[in-house]
Amino acid sequence: MNHPEPSLRNPSARTGETAAAGNPPDAAKYAFINEVIARVDGRPGALLGILEAVQERNPRKYLCADELSYIAAKTNIPLSQIFSVVTFYALFNREPQGDHTICICRGTACHTRGSRTLLESLRLELGMEEAPGQAGADKLTLTTPDGKFTIRTVACFGQCALAPVVELDHRICGHMNERALAREVDALGQERHE
């Protein structure tokens, strides 16, 4: 993978095989990563494609440290650059996500139709206090302690006609109000996590 910086190769880039904390090297995982790298390496958007594929494969939809080290070793991209990319984009998670994801749209149309109060009522209902340092921040990802629910926000789903919009596990629900949202969340809660 060539990148414009004419810097030297990493003199002592570690290979990714080292055992990450409590997660033995999983041969299938690394094989999958190799296959993805082979498919996209050298093409524009390669790193994004690799990270998206690896996260999607993980049942808990997150990227762990050993995967990142392995990708760095295989693509010759510096570790810090990979970490910079993983923490820059909202899509990538470094923490395991809940069984169900509730994503509240904070777009303009949804905001003018009250999605802020939806977010606050959902937070209260799932008993998640204001995370420190996120006072009023709308860009958040919170997972309930029992790992069942993750609340996320997104800047705009592009569903503005249905404002306010909430996505519950890839299902878009429009014209939401507090009661309907509570109903949907309970329904999700009952569902057995497959």
Binding residue (CB under 8 A) for another protein from 97, 101, 150, 159? 159
Count CA atoms closer than 13 A to 83's CA, side-chain side. 7
22 binds another protein (CB under 8 A): no
User: SS in 3 state form for 15-74?
Assistant: CCCCCECCECCCHHHHHHHHHHHHHHCCCCCHHHHHHHHHHHHCCCCCCCHHHHHHHHHH
Q: Which of residues 93-112 bind another protein (CB under 8 A)?
A: 106-112
122 binds another protein (CB under 8 A): no
Ranges of beta strands (E only) in 52-158 are 100-105, 141-143, 149-154
Q: Which two three-digit tokens encode residue 77?
A: 């991209």
Query: Least distance from C-beta 25 to another protein, angstroms?
Result: 17
Query: Least distance from C-beta 23 to another protein, angstroms?
Result: 14
C-beta atoms surrounding 102 within 10 Å = 22
Binding residue (CB under 8 A) for another protein from 46, 57, 128, 144? 46
65 binds another protein (CB under 8 A): yes
| Closer residue to another protein, CB minimum distance, 56 or 192 | 56
Binding residue (CB under 8 A) for another protein from 36, 102, 113, 126? 113
